[in-house]
Structure 1
Amino acid sequence: MSVPAERFERAVRKAQADGRIPAISVAVHRADRDLWTCVVGSSGNPDHPLDPGSRFRIGSVTKTFTAALVMQARDDGLLDLDDPVSAHLDVPAHGDATVRRLLSHTSGLQREPDGDVWDTMLAPDAAGLLAELDRAERVLPNARRFHYSNLGLAILGQMVARLRSGTWAEVLQHRVLDPLGLASTTVEPPPESVVGYLVDAYSDAVRPEPRLDLGGVAPAAQLWSTAADMARWGAFLADPGAVDPDGAVLRSRTLDEMRWPVTTTSDTLWSIGYGLGLELEPVGERIVHVGHDGAMPGFLAGVYGRRGGDGNPGALGCAVLGSSGTAGEITALPHELLRLVVELDPADIRPWSPGAPAPERYRSVLGRWWSEGVEFVFSWHGGALQARADQAAADLPPAVFRPLPDRPDVLRTESGREVGELLRLSRDEHGVVVRMHWATYRMTREMQTCDGVWVSDGGTP
């Protein structure tokens, strides 16, 4: 076993022992290495001993799948994120809650469906969930703040099912699980499922937890899976272009949208953000772990992909699934393992090799320009015009431009600083670019005041 693998396994074994977790299953997916897996403990299932194929309940990680289905529907023109839910579902109340607010847990809807589900262990079916919405409260004003709601994601799951003329489970299978090859992810517990336990706080006793079929609330927390499937899913959430290069499930830019923070989960500790169905955990300068935690009686799960940072091999995802409902070590371990991967076994450094020169049309753009007293460097890399402030941090991605199809001297900023804004080129009689306007701000070769006077001309203080 290699040194990194020994360190990974030790971290898993320590978490299992410290957390007193009956069974733990872990997987790390990355673009440049074979899948790494580790299991420790006992499944509690006499017919299926614990192995990498054992299935665990993943709880609210299910929400990330429902969010993907919603975004697919948006991309296919079936809905708009700012549509009220009543535009797609006949509901007796809360029809003004928008898709975007439900995805980001900012609609103000109460956490659970009406009734004491966690006492009775009985959940409403899909029809009952929607019919009884008038019994649910809006506990906060719309858009006031983050308030986690299983009810909100359940509504979205039923909305997608209605739009696709099927059940949520059928749509999920056809549109996400099959295209990504997640064959071990199921709505119902398979024979390989482990037993979920409540571990006694004051002794080493454990007791099996009951299995709750969530019925109409399934889109919020129903799924079962393996660590291997979930590590691949975490890698997809972080780097969809590597895991799903054809965009069969979602386009990369759609995942970019889902990962953009909509809110923080706390107003005093800005350590976790929430996008469109995704948890966002910053772990360093321009490094974020994107995914979700999950909890159901007897189970906890943490599924995350890592974005950014030196040594990241791409498509880097980690899943930790455990058969205890109380061990915080389960949800902390994915973040530790993702850090260890890039620390102990970083991506190989690819040698630089020469590429094609900039097209003649844009060569006079290359070099240094000034705007509002800030110096920018324009360059041509990867087949695109780029720009970055001269004093910008080295790991800050540059702005990247693409020309409009019918106007080659007008370029759209497609990523980075001033994303979405236009860059307009102005040329002299020889075709040389002598001035530019980026987001309407003038850019010149020399440092100028706002009224167009060179600073080097001097003036009176």
Structure 2
Amino acid sequence: MHLLRVLVVGWAAAVVGMATPASSGAVAGGEVSSDVEAYVESWREANGVPGAAVAVIDGEGVETYVSGEDGDGDAVSPETPFLVGSIAKTFTSKLVLDLAAEGRISLDDPIGKHLPSGDLPSTTVRQLLTHTAGFTAADGLAVSERYDNEPGALRRAVADLEHHGTPGEYAYNSADYLVLGALVEEVTGRPFGTVVDESVFASLGMTATTAEADGAESLPPGHRLWWGRARAYDPGFDESGAPYGYVASTLDDLTAYAQALLAGEVLPVGLESEAWKIQEVTGTKRGYGFGWSIDDGERRRVHHTGATPGYFAHVSLIPDDDRAVIVLANSYAESRAPSLTAAAVDIDEIARGGSADVEPGDPLLSSAPWALVGLASVGAVLALVARRRPRSTWLRRAGAVVAAVLAAALTLLLVLFGGSLRFVITWLPDLAVGIAVSCATMLVAAASFAARPRPSSRAQSRRDQAARL
């Protein structure tokens, strides 16, 4: 039973070590109202965010609030770099719409006209912009986090793409914008990072924003949650993901970007209204335009969230009111996604003089790692009990079957996350460890029940005495 002891001791040590609180930094000075400050601090605590940066923009100016530490232990400032995740899709959309405005492409061109596209040559540029090209979320995840920073990275990622969805049906994913990034390279004849820097970042004065690994060298580590505690995570920069998620920026630069968007200085004339119009309905008064999510509620919002392993970002525009809110966090967990996403709307409401409470996270995902701790402990106890009890052959067989079925059920959890172990390890690390250890203890328990039980020391002593007689 040496293996069992190793599993139990290792599991206990891992849980204790991962539950150690991350260090927290001092709050830097800010200009927003005390109510917004109080909300941001409560939001940080509820979601395990070591450092955050917030901007509230209106016609009268910009108010900012920065709080906590970056992954290097330095105080967060408006110049601190963050990964912005899928906000990068808005930059890619701008580049594609520029090409359309210049007449170099048409939104209804089949992608195969400009770019070798595997088995989707008739997919149109418009379908890629609106997530109706036939890719699923899992298709995009299968080629994400490659950390390929060599020339030709986008083309190699596109070559590895597969599609498992239905063209014409909406399915939000990163694959669509990966292909659009490769399209930009093909039509312009230049690397995507160079094009987006010249056409977007430099032209808007976003001097600290980059889609290239060399420019992201100062990016601090982000954080992932392990059993509710933030742990530093620094896998590196991924240029092959730049069109859909790997762009580093700052609060100052994103503020300039939001102001330029509100002023009508970013998207080409004649296409801005199309980009900010619901092209594909995704819910009641909700939809997706060209690189932007649209909420046609009481206050029309044009926005996009972004998440990478370790970072969260949100740019939320209220064009009719000439307002915007930017939220940056150096931590991300799927279990906290509802709360992280709600912050921009809540902060806008508070800044207007209203009130809002911090939204809770996903209760199922939040409790799952802890439930797996309990399940692993049950498996370990069952394995120990199975060494000597029960004596009944029927009961031992039943115990072996139950433990084996539980182990199989744990592996089926991966199906809920697209069937990718790599995805679970990257985005849900505590859940991945919990599944692995729980499955291992249940398999040990199943094997222990299936084996012949060891006699107790007393029974063995009686047998030895009888043998001597």
Structure 2, gaps ≥5 residues long: 1-28, 355-469
C-alpha distance 43-128 of structure 1, shift in aligned 2 (>3 A): closer
SS in 1 for 2:331: coil
How much is the aligned-residue C-alpha RMSD, in angstroms?
2.8
Match of 1:99 in 2: 125
Report deviation, 1:122. Answer: 4.6
Cα separation, 2, equivalents of 1:342 and 1:322 = 22
Report deviation, 1:228. Answer: 2.6
How high is the TM-score relative to the length of structure 1?
Answer: 0.64
Match of 2:280 in 1: 263
Alignment of structure 1 residues 200-279 onto 2, 5 Å? 200-202=226-228, 204=229, 206-237=230-261, 239-241=262-264, 244=265, 249-265=266-282, 269-270=283-284, 272-279=286-293
Deviation track 1:267-286 (CA, whole Å, cap 9, x = no partner) reads xx4253100111112341xx
Larger strand proportion of the pair: 1
Task: Give the alignment partner of residue 335 of structure 1, picking from 313, 331, 345.
Answer: 345
Match of 1:141 in 2: 166
Cα separation, 1, equivalents of 2:277 and 2:163 = 25
Alignment of structure 1 residues 272-291 onto 2, 5 Å? 272-284=286-298, 287-291=299-303
Task: Give the alignment partner of residue 330 of structure 2, picking from 323, 347, 358.
Answer: 323
Deviation track 1:332-387 (CA, whole Å, cap 9, x = no partner) reads 1111222333447xxxxxxxxxxxxxxxxxxxxxxxxxxxxxxxxxxxxxxxxxxx
SS in 2 for 1:160: helix
1:8 aligns with 2:40: no
Contact residue 314 and residue 344 of structure 2 kept, 8 A:
yes
Cα separation, 1, equivalents of 2:150 and 2:284 = 37
Percentage of matched positions with identical amino acids: 24
C-alpha distance 127-317 of structure 1, shift in aligned 2 (>3 A): same
Match of 1:195 in 2: 221
SS in 1 for 2:137: coil
Report deviation, 1:14. Answer: 1.9
Report deviation, 1:49. Answer: 3.0
Higher mean displacement: 81-90 or 8-17:
8-17
SS in 2 for 1:156: helix
C-alpha distance 232-282 of structure 1, shift in aligned 2 (>3 A): farther
Partner AA of 2:343 in structure 1? L
Cα separation, 1, equivalents of 2:303 and 2:63 = 19
The count of aligned residue pairs is: 322
Structure 1, gaps ≥5 residues long: 345-461
C-alpha distance 114-31 of structure 1, shift in aligned 2 (>3 A): closer
Match of 2:8 in 1: none
Contact residue 103 and residue 277 of structure 1 kept, 8 A:
yes
Match of 1:301 in 2: 313
Contact residue 259 and residue 275 of structure 1 kept, 8 A:
yes
C-alpha distance 77-297 of structure 1, shift in aligned 2 (>3 A): same
SS in 1 for 2:306: strand
Alignment of structure 1 residues 146-161 onto 2, 5 Å? 146-161=170-185
Alignment of structure 1 residues 341-420 onto 2, 5 Å? 341-343=351-353
C-alpha distance 192-37 of structure 1, shift in aligned 2 (>3 A): farther
Cα separation, 2, equivalents of 1:3 and 1:73 = 40
How high is the TM-score relative to the length of structure 2?
Answer: 0.63
C-alpha distance 182-135 of structure 1, shift in aligned 2 (>3 A): closer
Higher mean displacement: 126-135 or 100-109:
126-135
Partner AA of 2:56 in structure 1? V
Partner AA of 1:223 in structure 2? V
Match of 1:53 in 2: 79
Alignment of structure 1 residues 181-192 onto 2, 5 Å? 181-187=205-211, 188=213, 190=216, 192=218
